[in-house]
Structure 1
Amino acid sequence: MQFDFGFLVTMMPALAEAVVANATIAAIALALSLLIGMALTIVRTKKIRPVNAVIDLVISFVRGTPLMVQVLLAYYTLPLSTLSSGPMIAGTIALAINSSIYVTEALRAGLQAVDPGQVEAGTALGLKRGTIWRKVLIPQLLYNSVPVITNEATFVVKGTALLSVITVVEVMRTSQQIGSANYQPFEAVVGAAFCFFVMNTLVIAIGNLAERHLRRRDER
Structure 2
Amino acid sequence: MQFSFEFVLETLPALIAAAGVTIRVAAITIALSLFFGTVLTIVRALKIRPVNVAISIYISFIRGTPLLVQIFLAYYALPALGIRLGPVTAGVLAITANNAAFMTEIFRGALASIPPGQIEAAASLGLKPRAIWLKVVLPQLYMRSLPAIVNECTIVIKGTALLAVITVVEVFRTAQQIGSSSFRPFETFVAAGIVFLGLCLIISQFGLWLERRFALRRGT
Identity %: 49
Query: 1:80 Cα deviation (Å)?
Result: 4.5
The residue aligned with 2:140 is 140
Aligned equivalents of 1:65 and 1:189: distance in 2?
26
The residue aligned with 1:163 is 163
**TM-score w.r.t. structure 2 length?**
0.97
* Number of equivalent positions: 220
Aligned equivalents of 2:32 and 2:203: distance in 1?
17
Q: Note if contact 1:29-1:92 (Cα within 8 Å) is conserved in structure 2.
A: yes
Partner AA of 1:106 in structure 2: I
* Alignment pair present for 1:185 and 2:180: no
Query: 1:65 Cα deviation (Å)?
Result: 0.2
Over residues 112-166 of structure 1, what are the superposed CA-to-partner deviations in whole Å (9 max), with x where a residue is unaligned?
A: 1101001111111111001000000000000000000000101000000000000
Partner AA of 1:192 in structure 2: A
Aligned pairs for 1:1-220 within 5 A = 1-80=1-80, 84-220=84-220
Query: 1:84 Cα deviation (Å)?
Result: 4.6
Partner AA of 1:171 in structure 2: V
Partner AA of 1:104 in structure 2: T
Query: 1:85 Cα deviation (Å)?
Result: 2.3
Query: 1:38 Cα deviation (Å)?
Result: 0.4
Aligned equivalents of 1:89 and 1:177: distance in 2?
22
Aligned equivalents of 1:87 and 1:164: distance in 2?
9
Aligned equivalents of 1:41 and 1:116: distance in 2?
16
User: What residue ranges of structure 2 are gaps of 5+ in the alignment?
Assistant: none
Query: 1:207 Cα deviation (Å)?
Result: 0.6
Aligned equivalents of 1:79 and 1:20: distance in 2?
28
Query: 1:4 Cα deviation (Å)?
Result: 1.3
Aligned equivalents of 2:217 and 2:189: distance in 1?
42
Aligned equivalents of 2:31 and 2:141: distance in 1?
16
Partner AA of 2:76 in structure 1: Y
Partner AA of 2:67 in structure 1: L
What's the Cα RMSD here?
A: 1.1
- Segments of 4+ in structure 1 off by > 6 A? none
**TM-score w.r.t. structure 1 length?**
0.97
Query: 1:8 Cα deviation (Å)?
Result: 1.4
Aligned equivalents of 2:210 and 2:194: distance in 1?
24
Partner AA of 2:55 in structure 1: I
Query: 1:204 Cα deviation (Å)?
Result: 0.1
Aligned equivalents of 2:85 and 2:211: distance in 1?
36
Partner AA of 2:32 in structure 1: L
Aligned equivalents of 2:84 and 2:215: distance in 1?
43
Q: Note if contact 1:41-1:108 (Cα within 8 Å) is conserved in structure 2.
A: yes
Other structure's SS at 1:143 match: helix
Aligned equivalents of 1:33 and 1:133: distance in 2?
18
Aligned equivalents of 1:83 and 1:148: distance in 2?
33
Q: Note if contact 1:78-1:90 (Cα within 8 Å) is conserved in structure 2.
A: no
